[in-house]
Amino acid sequence: MGPPPIVRRLHTPAGLKYGSYGMLLGIITSILSLITVIPLATSPDLTNMTAPTIAFIVGMACLVSILALVMFIFWILLLYEMHVGRREFGPRHASRVSAGIILIVLGIVLMIVGIIATVAAAFIGFDPSGGVTDIDAAQFRTSMAVGLVFTIASAVAINLALVFFAREIIEPEKMNLLWAAFALAVAAPIISSLITISSIPTSGVIDMAEADTIAPWANVAEIFSLIGTALFFVAYRAARQRILDGRLQPVFVQPMQPPPQYPQQPPAWGQPPPPRSEEPPKWEELEPVDEPRE
């Protein structure tokens, strides 16, 4: 009998771990973003900001960008580990993970389209050669609404993928955590979009220099996203702990076979063969011994 097969580590708990790290950084970046937007929302005149205030906003923006980059790396690790280990907990979990990855890709595409539409809305009717900085309010409102619809659709796709990644492995009584997190995370862009659209006039013109400061308080809706991310964090940690505690056993784990044991090389030409092991001694026949009689 050879040595037992070496069982590799599970990828699903690693993916849940990296995902929870990304969510923790998402919470931190959301808090920092809310702190950054306070001077923009409370300042009556943005053109008269003091140098310390501007330096504070720029510094916070740089910090948020660095944390967002690290968070993006954790999200990539989440997708990789979940994809590699998608068959570890049965076919239903594998199909959920595959659907989640498709939703992530779709959400990224929708996000890019939404950003392009939102940025393009600021350049409608803008004539830089003639020095005109006014844009049509109705066209700006319509283009902004189209971009925000794509943003909401992106949030739905991405957060639904996060639900699918843990839906089949979390405890049934904690399933409400996933759906509550999904609802709050989707409510954030919806509320933010409604505040933004309601702040844009339906007619007239808008100064392009002030187009990005129309609804600074719309960022306050990120509180819902922050709470939703926190619930996702708790759900992912609970699902990972369930696997580590052995309360959920994997269905399929690919073993790694040990290296093959090659037979001993025969002796070279002219060399004596290796000594044989001594044969075990045979039992000797013993003469019967008369037992004493009572």
* pLDDT at 186 (0 to 100): 94
Q: What percentage of the chain exceeds 90 in pLDDT?
A: 43
* pLDDT at 99 (0 to 100): 96
Q: Residue 150 — very low, low, confident or very high, per pLDDT cuts 50/70/90? A: very high
Q: What is the greatest pairwise CA distance in the chain?
A: 134
Neighbours of 166 (CB within 10 A): 28
Please give the helix or strand (H or E) that residue 206 lies within, else none: strand 205-207
Its pTM surpasses 0.95: no
Integer-rounded Cα Rg, in Å, for the chain is 33
Phi then psi dihedrals of residue 160, to 5 deg: -65, -35
* pLDDT at 107 (0 to 100): 95
* pLDDT at 286 (0 to 100): 45
Please give the helix or strand (H or E) that residue 134 lies within, else none: strand 134-136
pLDDT tens digits, one per residue of 65-88: 999 999 999 999 999 999 999 999
Q: Residue 22 — very low, low, confident or very high, per pLDDT cuts 50/70/90? A: very high
131: left (phi > 0), else alpha (psi -120 to 50), else beta?
left
With beta carbons less than 8 A apart as the criterion, state whether 39 and 49 touch: yes
pLDDT tens digits, one per residue of 95-147: 999 999 999 999 999 999 888 887 776 666 555 555 556 677 777 788 888 88
Q: How deeply is 158 buried, as exposed, middle or buried, from its count of CB atoms within 10 A (0-12, 13-18, 19+)?
A: buried
Q: In the predicted model, is pLDDT for residue 178 greater than 70?
A: yes
List the single range of 43-57, 192-206, 257-271 with lowest mean pLDDT. 257-271
* pLDDT at 9 (0 to 100): 76
CA atoms within 13 A of residue 31's CA, in its CB half-sphere: 8
Q: Tell me the C-alpha distance between 48 and 42, whole Å.
A: 13
Residue among 162, 168, 49, 56 nearest 101 (CA): 162
Q: Tell me the C-alpha distance between 170 and 239, whole Å.
A: 5
Give the mean model confidence (pLDDT) for residues 183-194: 91
Give the mean model confidence (pLDDT) for residues 228-252: 91
Q: Residue 294 corresponds to which tokens in the numbers above? A: 């009572």
